[in-house]
Structure 1
């Protein structure tokens, strides 16, 4: 789900697993996971617009968040903490902006009265579950690594819940003949994305502020002491 990799130790590396986290095979797995999630993000955005489904657009937020997680995990290998904090802030801002877009789209759907296409929603939700299952299988062997490696696997495992929610929304739309199940799921998932994005931005600003506070005393010039 959006925001499942935002705790204070998400980017940390335990001393016993530092070599494992820099293993070339781990980098290849991250690249494959990044490609799958980026592709499914595009599929769900296209499907959400074509099927008039706000919940598909909201689920695309999950794939965007995961793609950003994998991209950041690749980018920050060996980088300084302040670069990781800045990258996390950008990721949080992107999550928040897309969440607002999904909410706006849901409100527009209420006003326009468009009926989602339940069959398209269900088909894409199943494809999303298969994609997340593939990524989880790729990451399974690395689940016992450092905090970042473990959290990346947990994110993918938990994202299946989002896919199930969209599938249930499709069943609800088909069974009731209304758009409300789709909108309810969309609003809930978009709210999670906005909350997660805000939390990431806030934590990254705290980290950047803490780094600046540590740098200033080190660079401060002590005034000459006056001697009587």
Structure 2
């Protein structure tokens, strides 16, 4: 019985982890598989054909490589820029959310904060030990959970008031968020090669783009109906998704520290 660790690109949510683990366990000879958002690694136990495992993982749209591969200097710069873009627009969208009175914008800002933190962790992970990454991730998981709970609390409070947000600010901020995510995807794409890696980049940005589109759609529905309900329901959905991701990060961080 052997244990092998692989670096997997494109992991940014709990559903990605479940899909990767299921794909690995479908390979003959694999007895256990565990993916981690903290380390970006897939740990596989058993006696199996490595080529078959790589094929199963790439079929899910993720890139996979041994964790010993050294990243290019250009990749470090690109990842740092992605962190700045995500955290920067997270601040912009948070401000827009308060100005517009939009809970969906505040929840989508949580998306950017979360992506910035996860990308920042990936940047730190290029030189830090697994234990150090796990400690940082533990704090990040708590931060994401607190932000998610805050958005949920504000959203539930707004159900009583039901004041429609400013749909113009909401729509423009949502469109800007989509543009930033597309820029990040383009930056990542320049430092990837091969079809599997390209699919992994788009998989990484898929949930973000869907959240952005949901905000733009909600803004349109607010304008059409004059109701705050589309904004509030979108906020609940996005905040719930990232509360779940925060829980996954905390679980993985605690497991890595044991």
TM-score scaled by length of structure 1? 0.81
1:86 is aligned to 135
The 5-angstrom pairing of residues 45-194 of structure 1 reads 45-143=94-192, 154-194=203-243
Distance 1:182 1:69 in 2: 26
Alignment counterpart, residue 14 of structure 1, candidates 65, 76, 92: 65
Q: 1:56 to 1:183 in 2, by over 3 A?
A: same
Structure 1, unmatched stretches of 5+, are 210-228
Distance 2:192 2:206 in 1: 11
Structure 2, unmatched stretches of 5+, are 1-9, 18-34, 42-63
1:225 is aligned to none
Q: CA RMSD in A?
A: 2.7
**Counterpart contact for 1:2–1:61, Cα < 8 Å:** no
**Counterpart contact for 1:66–1:156, Cα < 8 Å:** no
Cα shift at 1:119: 1.0
1:221 is aligned to none
2:55 matches 1:4 = no
Q: 1:16 to 1:195 in 2, by over 3 A?
A: closer
Q: 1:128 to 1:197 in 2, by over 3 A?
A: same
Deviations 1:147-192 (A, max 9, x none): 9998676333431111000011101111111000000000011111
**Structure number having the greater helix percentage:** 1
| Deviant stretches of 4+, over 4 Å | 147-153
Distance 2:117 2:204 in 1: 12
Deviations 1:3-23 (A, max 9, x none): 52774255238338712xx21
TM-score scaled by length of structure 2? 0.72
**Structure number having the greater strand percentage:** 2
Distance 1:23 1:3 in 2: 22
How many equivalent residue pairs? Answer: 206
Of structures 1 and 2, the one with the larger relative CO (CA 8 A, separation 6+) is: 1
